[in-house]
Chains A and B, each alone.
Chain A
Amino acid sequence: MNAELVRVTLFSVTMASLATLVMLPPGVALGWLLARRRFPGRTVVETVVSLPLVLPPVATGLILLRLLGRRGPIGRILDQAGVDVIFTWKAVVVAMAVMGLPLLVRAARAGFEQVDHRFEQIAATLGASPIRVFFSITLPLANRGVMAGSMLGFSRALGEFGATIMIAGALPGTRTLSTAIYSYSQTGRDTAATLLLAVAATIAFVSVFVSNRLGSGHLEQPPSPSDD
């Protein structure tokens, strides 16, 4: 039992970490885009990104299954390339990343909105290209929001169940803390389920706690040029 507990915990944390890494580039890019640019179809993008937050996770899982299953538009191509996603650890990462992304985008967007344009303008006058301005000025100054968003995305990934079980199944190789708790409680193994529950709750608590400290209060707000 203990070996299984350790294995499931390690697997879940690894997958959630991977999922967080995976969601970072698109999450930061979308957060920046929504904070800084007006473009046609902006509302559509906002809505699609929010969908996993609004829909029941099982519904999101269903959409992913239809897309990635062997008969689906993306799944078909992957199948031909010999890449398996459904029922493998990759599906776990996908489910976790999709469910965590909206939280990251929200927090990153808030972070970017707080960065004073003036810093970016002056950096540009000093000869920095837009890419350099983003990586040397905008992103570091929005860092708190991005970090907080990552922690939130990570916690969400760790607690993910509905979408995960749909596309990753509940196989020994893809069992996460959440699906294991479900399996154990469904088969009357209440002690095991409670133990896993305690582990999951502890990890979630720690990550949300860290995320809150990063995002506000304890550390100062990002400065503006008018501060002296």
Chain B
Amino acid sequence: MSARQFLLSTALLAIAACGEGRHSDPQEVLLVSAAVSLSDVLSVVAAEYERATGVSVVLNLAGSDTLATQLAAGAPADVFVSADRRQMDRVENDGIIAASSRVDLLANQLVVIVPSTRAQPVTGVDDMRSSRIRRIAMGDPDSVPAGVYAKQYLEAAGLWEDVRSKVLPTRDVRAALAVVAAGNAEVGIVYRTDVVRASGVSLAFEIPIDLGPQIRYPAAATVGAGESAATEFLAFLTGDVSRAAFEDAGFIPLSRSLSFRPGPKP
């Protein structure tokens, strides 16, 4: 490539990069940063919202900590849905979200899973003490929300000290599922919503909600130009259409007194 060619192409690139300014009306597009575990259900909900209002919803799906970091640095998201209260607290403290818009959108439930073939019989949480159960797969209790909750539960049940040496901490919930499906762990502790689509694992038992930890998915609107559109979307998320979708996916929608009325289509 001659000198002239690459100087020319870089010059063109630079022009192209600067030329594209903002041209879309912020009210027509809503950017939602949401925990990746909500990918499927939010895609469905977003599509419904678009149909109802004509507002296009763009989903930015990553780990809650990544999303919070992006928001803290001024990333242009209008709505934040976190799988973890800590991350929401973080951005609330930074003044990035409108505190009055914050709601606990969903709850989840911990379940214990076993491999779908040749599994050890597991009917209650005390079975974890048994010597038949050598490894318990779960998200890393130091960093992964699902793991944090699992540890909380085991501590509350008085089992943590006995079983902690058996814990196989994984990078995320998908990895925990994979480990159990492969038979490398006799049991795993994950969310009910994770089991819905998983293959190779079966539900052993659910940990009752009142005994389990409070797993909450907070949602909020960010402060700024898109705040009112964001608040409308949040109202939709707590409406009947969304709640049905969340239930289908295995989440527990937390009912609020907000009611959603779709505005006139532009």
Contact = CB atoms under 8 A, between A and B. Distances in A.
Q: Do A and B come from one complex?
A: yes
Interface of A: 18, 21-22, 24-25, 58, 62, 65-66, 69-72, 75, 81-84, 86-87, 90, 135, 139, 165-167, 169-173, 182-183, 185-188, 190
Given A69-B75, A166-B69, A187 B36 contact: yes
B132 interface: no
B59 interface: yes
B69 A62 contact: yes
A188 B60 contact: no
Nearest to A150: B1
A84 B74 contact: no
Given A25-B10, A169-B60, A170-B62, A70 B74 contact: yes
A187 B39 contact: yes
Nearest to B39: A187
Among all A-B residue pairs, the 9 with the closest Cβ atoms: A70-B74, A69-B73, A69-B74, A188-B197, A169-B60, A82-B21, A71-B74, A65-B73, A187-B39
Contacts of B40: 187
Contact of B33 (A65, A90, A169, A190): A169
Given A65-B69, A84-B76, A170-B36, A22 B174 contact: no
A139 B3 contact: yes
B70 A169 contact: yes
A169 B74 contact: no
Interface string B62-75: 10001001100111
Contacts of A183: 36, 39, 61
10 contacts: A22-B13, A71-B74, A82-B22, A83-B21, A165-B62, A169-B62, A172-B59, A183-B36, A186-B39, A188-B194
B30 to A, nearest CB: 12
B18 A83 contact: yes
Contacts of A86: 70, 73-76
Given A71-B73, A75-B74, A171-B58, 4 more contacts: A25-B10, A169-B33, A172-B59, A182-B36
B241 interface: no
A169 to B, nearest CB: 4
A70 B222 CA distance: 14
Contact of A165 (B17, B66, B73, B197): B66
B9 interface: yes
Interface string B35-49: 011011000000000
A186 to B, nearest CB: 4
A152 B152 CA distance: 46
A219 B122 CA distance: 64
B21 A87 contact: no
A183 to B, nearest CB: 6
B101 to A, nearest CB: 20
A186 B73 contact: no
A25 B11 CA distance: 11
B254 interface: no
A155 to B, nearest CB: 19
Given A84-B76, A87-B75, A166 B70 contact: yes
B154 to A, nearest CB: 25
B66 A90 contact: no
Given A65-B75, A183-B61, A188-B198, A166 B66 contact: yes
A70 B74 CA distance: 5
A171 B36 contact: no
A188 B66 CA distance: 20
Contacts of A84: 21-22, 76
Interface in B178-234: 194, 197-199
A154 B10 CA distance: 16
B148 interface: no
Contacts of B104: none
B70 A65 contact: yes
